Amino acid sequence: MVATGHAAASDLPALLEQAKSPRPSHAPSAATARAGLAGAAQKLQRYLDTGGANGAAWQRYLRFDQLSAALQPTAEVELEPLERIYQRFQADHPGLEMPVFHDVAVALRAWIDAIERQRHPVAQEEVGKQIDQLAAGLERYQCQPDAEELDQIAAAMGWLSRHGQAENLIAALRERLSRPNLHVHLSQRLLTAATDRPADDVEDVRDSILGTTLIGRAQTRGHVRTRLVPNPRYAQFETVIEAVNEAQTVGYNGPARVGSLSRTDLRGRKQFKLDANGFAVWPADATAETHSQTYGVWSNKRGCVDRLVRRVARKRLGQQKTASERVAAQHARQRLARRLDAEANRQLAQSNAEYLGRFRNPLYRTGHLPRELRFSTTADDLQLIALHDSPARLAAATAPPEPQPGLAMSVRLHESLANNLAEDFLAGRTLDQEQLEQLAVRLFGQLPAQLVNDEQRGPWSITFAQHDPVTLRIEQDAAMVTIRGREFASDLRTFRTPMNVTARYRLRRERDALTAVREGELEIVPPGFTQGKRISPRLSTIRTLLKHRFEKIFTPEIASQGLVLPGQWRRAGRLDLVQLESREGWLALGWATSAVAPGLVPGGYHADHDRGGPATRAGATGAHGVKTTMRDVSEYRHESLR
């Protein structure tokens, strides 16, 4: 696949000159790395010592006694046990994302790498050879931009990075050749269709105003709207309720009884934000204006006492009307703000728990969180930009296709994102049928039909290759997927013969949805196979068995039925695919709403509505994995809008 419009072509000559004269390494020595690990381990030890039985269980799981012994000054350090301990710190267990654990994992990795460099120093000739290979690769890429050439460049960069060489050069190359590989836009129009709703609520009234107890019923009618707030640093939202509260009450003050009708105009707003760390909220505020009228005055007395009570009550009503309406409005404003806080905080805490539990924390504790994860908002769009690479893998070297104007939602995905995630989670790993199904549900929210177990064929498993376990290549109106396995097993047989399974699809838009039509048969061959070479009978048997398995995954045609978003976003209805563009490694998809529900008027947020105040993170995991409440979080997490 050829990538045109390549990044930073004009800068490559200067980078080539820089590659020939690498700067000295600034990688930490083994002694420095050991000291950093010892400090982080001491903090973790103190933390776990306060955790009782749970803390002791963590220490056993992390083999903390072995780590402490290895940190002793006179210890003979073996790297293999340290690697096993490191893998435990990198496991997907809730709690390991906490800084006190994560700091030890980072320091332990640095110590292992420093010991490797100390025990196996690389000759300057080898460093020069790698840099020459990198320079040659950059020169070839300048002449013929190509994804495979970028993979070779990334491999050379990874080698230099592992050996602590040419840090400045690698950083410069990564800045130029590793750009964001995921862009997602959601429009205000889509947000409006999904979140705007009427408000209609009937409730009992019990209040006290200027010494009078009010009892009755009230109905609140209005509308709730959520708007995007322009902010380049994170995604910011404002939910606004505008409503009218009409109440009929009876006031009790001694023997006097006063029947009243009131109308209160309400406006409340609640702001919240989303960034890489999750959701955060600000306290709600509200305004209210009350107007009331009396429809009757009476008492629980008789005769002249009744007449006296009613005369005094009417006089006080006239004197206190303005003050009582002011107090009633104040109470209504406070009630609305409390209700907005309670309802929004509860919903956002749930959303935050899902974001942290299903996305951020698993990636963070396993060391696979994207290097960049940026949210931002304009008056018209919510934007998510992600960059996921690694020391030996690059992200996108080119800019994505431009989205069509007026889209409800767009997703622009570069092949490098899929390939890098596959390397993170599948390289060298063995997955059986059940684990594959669990992974698919975690990724897609449900089990795709292609992965439903075929009971007639029984369970099976695959052990992926150590490198490039799954490769996606996106070309002009086409895509190619290759799965590389080094072992395949069923309930009857195990094949330890590496095989690559490749499917090529032609992409097109049909009936406002994406359709992928497979071109030809599956290609199932051993690594390095030369076309035209004869296949042995044993390989033919393996190919036949794998074809039966993978034909169900890579079907001749894969057709979507349109896009309906989950949860409350379902209210936006079906989204029609109106943009499909694939080229240079990028797949650009754009959807438009089929129709906007009546009464939902799209609109943006005006900058003069901005406000300040403390923001509280909407739910987090505290010490020993305990879920904290909104109040707990506010004690240690405050942020200001600026």
333: Cβ contacts below 8 Å, ≥ 6 apart? 266, 286, 287, 288
Model confidence at 630: pLDDT above 50: no
The percent of residues above 70 in pLDDT, for the chain, comes to 86
Contact 416, 470 (CB under 8 A): no
> Averaged over 248-276, what is the pLDDT?
96
Model confidence at 308: pLDDT above 60: yes
Model confidence at 236: pLDDT above 80: yes
Q: How confident is the model at residue 171 (pLDDT cuts 50, 70, 90)?
A: confident
> Averaged over 38-43, what is the pLDDT?
96
Q: What is the residue-averaged pLDDT of the chain?
A: 86
Model confidence at 443: pLDDT above 80: no
> Averaged over 363-382, what is the pLDDT?
95
Q: How confident is the model at residue 527 (pLDDT cuts 50, 70, 90)?
A: very high
Per-residue pLDDT at 4: 39
Per-residue pLDDT at 619: 54
Q: How confident is the model at residue 624 (pLDDT cuts 50, 70, 90)?
A: very low
Q: How confident is the model at residue 637 (pLDDT cuts 50, 70, 90)?
A: very low
Per-residue pLDDT at 571: 87
* Structure tokens given for 492: 């009857």
Looking at 185-194, 320-329, 538-547, which range is the least confident one? 538-547
Per-residue pLDDT at 388: 96
Per-residue pLDDT at 510: 85
Model confidence at 638: pLDDT above 50: no
Contact 102, 90 (CB under 8 A): no
> Averaged over 355-383, what is the pLDDT?
94
Per-residue pLDDT at 633: 29
Distance, in Å, from the CA atom of 478 to the CA atom of 473, rounded to the nearest integer, reads 8
Model confidence at 634: pLDDT above 50: no
Q: How confident is the model at residue 534 (pLDDT cuts 50, 70, 90)?
A: confident
DSSP secondary structure of 497-558: --EEEEEEEEEEEETTEEEEEE-SS-EEE-TTPPTTPPPPHHHHHHHHHHHHHHHHHS-SEE
Model confidence at 21: pLDDT above 60: no
> Averaged over 215-235, what is the pLDDT?
97
Of residues 562 and 270, the one with the higher pLDDT is 270
Distance, in Å, from the CA atom of 268 to the CA atom of 249, rounded to the nearest integer, reads 23
Q: What is the DSSP letter of 28?
A: P
State the virtual CA torsion across 27, 33, 39, 41 in degrees, nearest 10: 120
Per-residue pLDDT at 544: 87
A 10 A CB-CB count for 22 gives: 20
Per-residue pLDDT at 147: 84
Of residues 245 and 552, the one with the higher pLDDT is 245
Per-residue pLDDT at 459: 76
Q: How confident is the model at residue 617 (pLDDT cuts 50, 70, 90)?
A: low
Candidates 390, 330, 402; CA nearest to 155 is 390
Distance, in Å, from the CA atom of 604 to the CA atom of 408, rounded to the nearest integer, reads 14
Which range of 63-72, 126-135, 170-179, 612-621 scores highest in mean pLDDT? It is 63-72
Distance, in Å, from the CA atom of 408 to the CA atom of 595, rounded to the nearest integer, reads 11
Surface-to-core class of residue 322, CB atoms within 10 Å of its CB (0-12 exposed, 13-18 middle, 19+ buried): exposed
Contact 586, 417 (CB under 8 A): no
Buried b (16+ CB within 10 A) or exposed e, 475-500: beebbbbbbbbbbbbeeeeebeeebb
Distance, in Å, from the CA atom of 630 to the CA atom of 412, rounded to the nearest integer, reads 35
The percent of residues above 90 in pLDDT, for the chain, comes to 62
Of residues 202 and 637, the one with the higher pLDDT is 202
Per-residue pLDDT at 1: 38
Packed helices 30-49 and 99-119: angle between N→C axes, nearest 10 degrees: 150
374-430: per-residue pLDDT in tens?
A: 999 999 999 999 999 998 999 999 999 999 999 999 999 999 999 999 999 999 999
How many CA atoms, within 13 angstroms, populate the side-chain half-sphere of residue 84?
8
Q: What is the DSSP letter of 635?
A: T
> Averaged over 538-567, what is the pLDDT?
86
Of residues 4 and 237, the one with the higher pLDDT is 237
462-509: per-residue pLDDT in tens?
A: 999 999 999 999 999 999 999 999 999 877 788 889 999 999 999 998
Buried b (16+ CB within 10 A) or exposed e, 51-88: eeeebeebbeebbbeebeebbeeeeebeeeebeebbee
> Averaged over 143-157, what is the pLDDT?
87
Q: What are phi and psi of 45, to 5 degrees?
A: -60, -45
Which range of 129-138, 153-162, 290-299, 457-466 scores highest in mean pLDDT? It is 290-299
Q: How confident is the model at residue 445 (pLDDT cuts 50, 70, 90)?
A: low
Per-residue pLDDT at 537: 83
Per-residue pLDDT at 398: 92
412: Cβ contacts below 8 Å, ≥ 6 apart? 182, 183, 184, 400, 401, 403, 586, 587, 588, 589
